[in-house]
Amino acid sequence: MSTRTFQLDQDQAPLHRALLRYRKRRIVSFDVPGHKQGRATPELTEFLGANCLSVDVNSMAMLDNLIHPISVIKEAEVLAADAFGAAAAYFIVNGTSAAVQAMILASLNPGDKIIMPRNVHRSAINALILARAVPVYVNPGLDIELGIPLGMAFKDVKAAIEKHPDAKAVLINNPTYYGVCPDVKRLADLAHENDMRLLVDEAHGTHFYFSDDLPLAGMDGGADFSAISLHKTGGSLTQSSMLLVGKRVMEDAGYVRQIINLTQTTSASYLLMSSLDLARKNLALNGAAIFSRVIQQADYAREEINQIGGYYAFSKERCDGDAFFSFDETKLSVHTRSMGLSGMEVYERLRDEYDIQVEFGDLGNFLAIVSIGDRPVAIERLIAALSEIYRLERRDPRGLMANEYIEPHVAMTPAEAFYAKAEQLPLKDCIDRVCAEFVMCYPPGIPILAPGELVTKEALDYISYAKSIGSNMTGTEDLAVEKLYVVI
Amino acid sequence: MNRYELWFNEFHTEHVTFSFRVDRQLLQKTSDFQRIEILETPEFGRVLILDGIIMCTEKDEFIYHDMIVHVPMAVHPEVKKVLLIGGGDGGALRELCRYETIESIEIVEIDLDVVNAAKEFLPTMATSYDDPRVNLIIADGLRYVRRKENVYDLIIVDSTDPFGPGESLFTKEFYGNCYKSLKDDGILVNQHESPFYGQEAREARLTHRRMKSVFDLSRVYQAHIPTYPSGHWLFGFSSKGLDPIKDFDADRWNALGLRTKYYNTDIHVGSFMLPNYVLELIGELS
Ligand SMILES: Cc1ncc(COP(=O)(O)O)c(C=O)c1O
């Protein structure tokens, strides 16, 4: 169910329409791209399809230009803003990473402070390097039984604001990877009362905008910016994304575009942009029905998984009205540690034994994303495979490590550490040194160590345990993640 | 006067078709799961077609149904409880119902429209839906079997190909759930695709590999079915221990006095003797 109403005719897809028109005109092109509608690349054209290559084109008058939109891209962005209840929307083709960076860069000047939970995606901390900004980390809170980080308690954010009244912005995840949402509205009000902006990393929350049964979406809660990954749960092509802007920052709309253009390509892909246009149309017209079906499927899966025994597919019952304010029921987050298997092990079994790919596994949980494209048979297969893993592999849970919150010790800003003179040492020799790069499991891409933080024994223990259960580690220059750059 | 001819064509591969003349179409219906057609033909009698693929014809269905039912029935000493997954045409059910010792048959078919079509248009196959031992359940096979533990003596998987609604019946998780639902001397028999053409052959190899990873014993046997791609078809026999040859009791089966058109106790033994290319395909060539 959705009570959202639109001002514009959401049945329109101006960019899509312009591309259809372009294709019909059969223009002879002496411009880039050099493949010329796929004629130069038979193997690629055969692989991706001639239709696809025929609209892989460059900006031109009839197709507008993303760095300076005045016609069909502008119209598509205006429709998107209307669909998401935002004051403005910007199409992004460099992933939601670029949207996250744009909202941070647009809100902070060098040296400015930003209040954020530590369980942010690496793109947010990368933005701090680019912005030369100073993070003030807030402990996001922990669901101890499940071992998952939460979305920050109100009082913890308030305390951080009181301690750092000069901060310019507060950044939140809505939701976290596991589907946990903070109280967006209350946090937006709190930030605004203190003259700060509320920035929302909504990479996993696109669908919130189209169902009343899901947590409150950033724009609806009064946020100033939302970075939404249409490609994750909205049905657009990988790497396409949007930045939404609330009405309080509309006066800076031109500045936001300039910031986006600092790093965004001047050859934005029309494949990606048209996928945003059509995904937006589909979400606006059919989103409510789609997500009520998705929620039903996920609920069904949770019920069945909880009957197998051993697993705990959690949902709204974990909500506490604060750091776990609400839960995204389309996330099938399943706790596995009490049956003696790490989430990572279940993730691997599903992939290797049953050809089922879930989003990620950590020490005690795995996450399956149910979305717009799922069929009942796929859900049945997942449940059946989990029931097999339980039958064949459950173990004594003693000895398995639980997720804990590792308090970061920030010794310098991410930018200072990143640009400082550094040396590369074996991990074990890095204790008490200042880290100059990231270490994380990917997914979820939440740093265990970020530039500027002291390397603690806890962090190293966590890294070695995560490696031992087969987590995919990234972030360091050393691809084997055995050595780390630390500041000299 | 010019008369046109109506021909049915099935692509066996991208480059090979199998076709026969059609007198008329008796049914065409799109169910929630697939397109169902029944054709009346001069050569094969009535033919059931799902999503453009021949499922069975009145002329040669006896081969398939004999082999999927009588082989396990001649091995297991005392089948009482049977689970039949798929098989909405009723042919396997008809053969099962000939055994008086069977006490109950649950037939789990995902598509009620297939059952109804068979009842209306395939009277020689759908003969046994009214047998009091038969319990028809319209459900997803994977989901149904997941909830069962240690109940069946025999499971027969009479499915479509793995490229449609039958997809989940070719997965390791399905076989594992079947294993769990079988008793300690239980047997599972499934249709196992053809070893000849690329796509089916790949499935046959994968299916055998998955079976072996789940069951204590897994063998493949064959039959000649003219209307299936290449005419050379495989079945899988998997069990928690019963061996299709060592535990096979020809005298006991012959004493039942069942008349069959394809199956006999010599065929039983012979059908487990496979050509080298098939052995190689399924990784059993020594
Ligand atoms: C919370 C969060 N923010 C931002 C991103 C970045 O999105 P993208 O991969 O589209 O750049 C991700 C992606 O995994 C994410 O999980």
Instruction: Name the nearest CA neighbour of A280 among A82, A5, A4, A55.
Output: A82
Q: How far is it, in rounded angstroms, from Cα A447 to Cα A451?
A: 10
State whether A332 and A362 are in the same domain.
yes
In a domain, A203, yes or no: no
Atom index in ligand 1 nearest the CA of residue A231 equals: 10
A384 touching chain B per CB within 8 A: yes
Considering only the beta carbons, identify the residue of B143, B165, B171 that sits closest to A354. Answer: B171
CA distance B173 to A105: 48
Residues B44 and B144 in one domain: no
Angstroms from A135 CA to nearest CA on chain B: 47
Nearest CA among B6, B125, B116, B121 for reference residue B60:
B125
**Per-residue tokens: B44:** 């094969």
A387 touches chain B (CB under 8 A): yes
CATH code, domain carrying A430: 3.90.100.10
Residue that is last in its domain, among A393, A425, A451: A393
Closest residue in B to A375 (Cα–Cα): B165
Q: Quote ipTM for the complex.
A: 0.85
Report CA(A202)–ligand 1 centroid distance (Å): 9
Whether chain A has a CB inside 8 Å of the CB on B174: the answer is yes
Q: Considering only the beta carbons, identify the residue of A353, A376, A387 that sits closest to B146.
A: A387
State the distance from the centre of ligand 1 to the C-alpha of B133, rounded, in angstroms: 57
DSSP string, B122-188: -TTTS--TT-TTEEEEES-HHHHHHT--S-EEEEEEE---TTTTTGGGGSHHHHHHHHHHEEEEEEE
State the closest ligand 1 atom to the C-alpha of A120, by its place in the atom list counted from 1: 1
Q: Kindly state whether residues B165 and B240 are assigned to the same domain.
A: yes
Under DSSP, is residue B102 helix (H, G, I), strand (E, B) or coil?
Answer: coil
Number of other CB atoms surrounding residue A31 within 10 Å? 11
Structure tokens, B104? 């109950």
Atom in ligand 1 nearest the alpha carbon of residue A229: 10
User: What span, in angstroms and rounded, lies between the C-alpha atoms of B127 and B95?
Assistant: 10
Degrees to nearest 5, angle at CA B82 with B79 and B86: 145
User: pLDDT tens digits for chain A (488 residues)?
Assistant: 788 899 999 999 999 999 999 998 888 888 888 888 888 899 999 999 999 999 999 888 899 999 999 999 999 999 999 999 999 999 999 999 999 999 999 999 999 999 999 889 989 999 999 999 999 999 899 888 888 889 999 999 999 999 999 999 999 999 999 999 999 999 999 999 999 999 999 999 999 999 999 999 999 999 999 999 999 989 999 999 999 999 999 999 999 999 999 999 999 999 999 999 999 999 999 999 999 999 999 999 999 999 998 999 999 999 999 999 999 999 999 999 888 998 989 999 999 999 999 998 888 899 999 887 788 889 999 999 999 999 999 888 777 777 777 788 899 999 999 999 999 999 999 999 999 998 888 777 788 899 999 999 989 988 888 888 777 888 889 888 899 999 99
For the Cβ of A97 lying below 6 angstroms from any atom of ligand 1, the answer is: yes
Beta strand A142-143 pairing with A169-173: unpaired
Same domain, A388 and A418: no
Where do we find the tokens 């535990």? Answer: B247
Claim to verify: residue A389 and residue A311 sit in the same structural domain: yes
**What backbone phi and psi angles, to 5 degrees, belong to B10?**
-120, 130
Q: A2 or B148: which carries more pLDDT confidence? A: B148
Cβ–Cβ below 8 Å for A388 and B143: no
Domain assignment present for A457: yes
Total structural domains within chain B: 2
Cα separation, A428 vs B108, in Å, equals: 59
Cis, bond preceding A33 (omega within 30 deg of 0): yes
- Residue B108: the pLDDT is 97
Beta strands in A186-329 (DSSP E): 197-202, 225-228, 241-245, 312-313, 326-327
Domain with A314, as residue range(s), is 287-393
User: Which pLDDT belongs to residue B52?
Assistant: 93
Judge residue A299's burial from the number of C-beta atoms within 10 Å of its C-beta, 0-12 exposed, 13-18 middle, 19 or more buried: middle
Ligand 1 geometric centre to CA of A264 (Å):
16
- Using a CB-CB cut-off of 8 Å, the residues of chain B touching A377 are 140, 142, 165, 167-168
Going from the C-alpha of B197 to that of each of A484, B15, B16, B203, B228, the distances in angstroms are 53, 11, 10, 10, 11
| Centre of ligand 1 from the C-alpha of residue A213, in Å | 24
**Pairwise CA distance, residues A382 & A229, whole Å:** 25
Looking at the structure, tell me whether residues A468 and A371 fall in a common domain. Answer: no
Tell whether A377 is within 8 A of chain B (Cβ): yes
Nearest Cβ partner for B171 among A381, A387, A392: A381
pLDDT for the residue numbered A442 = 74
List the strands of the sheet with A197-202, edge to edge: A88-92, A241-245, A225-228, A197-202, A169-173, A113-117, A134-138
Please indicate whether, in this complex, the C-beta atoms of A377 and B140 are within 8 angstroms of each other: yes
| CB atoms B180 and A391 under 8 Å | yes
B146 to chain A, any CB pair closer than 8 A? The answer is: yes
Strand order in the sheet with A331-335: A312-313, A331-335, A365-369, A360-361
pLDDT the model gives residue B164: 76
Alpha carbons A329 and A300: distance in angstroms, whole number: 11
Q: A274-295 b/e with 16+ CB inside 10 Å = b?
A: bbbbbbbbbbbeebbebbbebb
Cross-chain Cβ contact A384/B140 below 8 Å = no
Same domain, B40 and B68: no
Residues 6+ apart with CB under 8 A from A429: none
Q: Do both B30 and B78 map to the same domain? A: no
Residue B31 included in any domain: yes
**Cα(B5) to centroid of ligand 1, in Å?**
60
Last residue of a domain, one of A363, A393, A423: A393
The DSSP output letter for A59 is -
- Closest CB from B168, B172, B176 relative to A377: B168
Residue A122 in contact with residue A440, Cβ under 8 Å?
yes
Same domain, B175 and B47: no
Do B181 and B140 share a structural domain?
A: yes
Q: A198 — contact with chain B (CB < 8 Å)? A: no
CA distance A375 to B164: 12
pLDDT digits (tens, 9 = 90+) for B263-276: 999 999 999 999 99
Separation in Å, CA of B28 to nearest CA in chain A: 25
- Cα of A360 vs centre of ligand 1, distance in Å, is 13
DSSP classification of residue A435: B
B82-137 residue pLDDT tens: 999 999 999 999 999 999 999 999 999 999 999 999 999 999 999 999 999 999 99
Could you tell me the CATH number of the domain that includes residue B14? 2.30.140.10
Contact map slice: A 337-366 vs B, CB within 8 A: 353-355
Rg, chain A, Cα only: 23
Distance A452 CA to ligand 1 centre (A): 22
Q: A360, A393, A426 — which closes off a domain?
A: A393
Q: Which of A355, A376, A387 sits opposite B177 (nearest CB)?
A: A387
Question: A135 in a domain, yes or no?
Answer: no
Tell me which residue of B214, B256, B259 sits closest to B238, measured CA to CA: B214
What is the three-class DSSP state of A437? coil
Closest residue in chain A to residue B164, using alpha carbons only: A377
Q: What one-letter code names the amino acid at A88?
A: A
Q: Which tokens hold the place of A116? A: 């954020």
Query: Among all residues of chain B, which has the CA nearest to that of A307?
Result: B147
Q: Which of A229, A231, A264, A446 to mutate to test the pocket of ligand 1 (most atoms within 8 A of CB)?
A: A229
Active site residue B158: yes
Is B178 a member of any domain? yes
Intra-chain end-to-end CA distance of chain A, in Å: 57
**Calpha distance B86→A66 (Å, rounded):** 54
Backbone angles phi, psi at A411, to 5 degrees: -95, -30
CATH number at residue B224: 3.40.50.150
Domain assignment present for residue B286? The answer is: no
Smallest Cβ distance to A388: which of B167, B168, B177?
B177
Please check whether residue B98 touches A, CB under 8 A.
no
Please give the structure tokens belonging to residue A58: 């460059």
Both A354 and A438 in a single domain?
no
Residue A332 lies in a domain: yes
Distance A96 CA to ligand 1 centre (A): 5
Decide: A445 in ligand 1 pocket, CB within 6 A.
Answer: yes
Same domain flag for A304 and A367:
yes
Q: Is residue B191 domain-shared with residue B122, that is, in the same domain?
A: yes
Q: Are residues B152 and B190 in the same domain?
A: yes
C-alpha–C-alpha distance, residues A116 and B98, integer Å: 72
Say whether B168 and A385 touch across the interface (CB within 8 A).
no
- Looking at the complex, does the CB of residue B168 fall below 8 Å from at least one CB of chain A? yes
Residues B65 and B21 in one domain: no
- Please, is A436 exposed, middle or buried when counting C-beta atoms within 10 Å of its C-beta (0-12, 13-18, 19+)? buried
Residue B38 lies in a domain: yes
For residues A338 and A327, the answer to whether their CB atoms sit within 8 Å is no
Mean pLDDT of chain B: 95
* pLDDT, position A92: 98
Indicate if B45 and B70 belong to the same structural domain.
no
In a domain, A39, yes or no: no
CATH number, domain of A378, equals 3.90.1150.10
**Residue B233, φ and ψ in degrees, nearest 5:** -120, 150
CB atoms within 10 A of CB A195: 11
CA distance A308 to chain B (A): 9
Q: Do residue A434 and residue A379 come from a single domain?
A: no
A465 interface with B at CB cutoff 8 Å: no
Does any domain span residue B1? no
- Asked if A379 and A443 sit in the same domain, the reply is no
Q: How far is A299 from chain B (nearest CA, A)?
A: 16
Cβ–Cβ contact A380 with B under 8 A: yes
A455: tokens are 């390397």
| Max Cα-Cα span within chain B | 67
User: How is A3-31 classified by DSSP, letter by letter?
Assistant: ----SS-TT--HHHHHHHHHHHHT----S
pLDDT class of B1 with cuts at 50, 70, 90:
low
Are B105 and B16 part of one and the same domain?
A: no
* Ligand 1 pocket member A234 (CB < 6 A): no
- Residue ranges making up the domain that contains B79: 61-281
- Domain co-membership, A386 together with A291: yes
Nearest to A128 by CA among A413, A485, A411: A413
User: How is B30-75 classified by DSSP, letter by letter?
Assistant: E-SS-EEEEEEETTTEEEEEETTEEEEETTTHHHHHHHHHHHHHTT
Show the tokens assigned to A193: 């009362």
B117 with B218, same domain: the answer is yes
Catalytic residue among B113, B153, B158, B161: B158
Please indicate, yes or no, if residue A371 is contained in any of the structural domains: yes
For chain A, helix (H) and strand (E) counts, in that order, are: 15, 20
Task: Provide the 3-class DSSP secondary structure of residue A208.
Answer: helix
Pairing relation of β-strands B152-158 and B81-86?
Answer: parallel
Token couple for A468 = 């031992």
pLDDT tens per residue, range B34-66: 999 999 999 999 999 999 999 999 999 999 999
Domain count, chain A: 2
- State the nearest Cα–Cα gap between A392 and chain B, in angstroms: 9
Identify whether the C-beta of residue A483 lies closer than 8 Å to the C-beta of residue A475: no
Chain A nearest CA to B109, separation (Å) = 14
Q: Is B148 on the interface with A (CB under 8 A)?
A: no
A-B CB pairs within 8 A amount to: 45
Distance CA A100, CA A227 (A): 6
Is A391 part of the contact surface with chain B (CB cutoff 8 Å)?
A: yes
Determine how β-strand A483-487 pairs with β-strand A422-426: antiparallel
Measure CB to CB from residue B140 to each of A380, A385, A392 and give the nearest one: A380
Q: Tell me whether residue A45 is in a domain.
A: no
Task: Determine the Cα–Cα distance for residues A11 and A22; give it in Å rounded to an integer.
Answer: 20
How far off is chain B from A366, nearest CA to CA, in Å?
A: 18
Residue A251 within a domain = no
CB atoms within 10 A of CB A110: 11
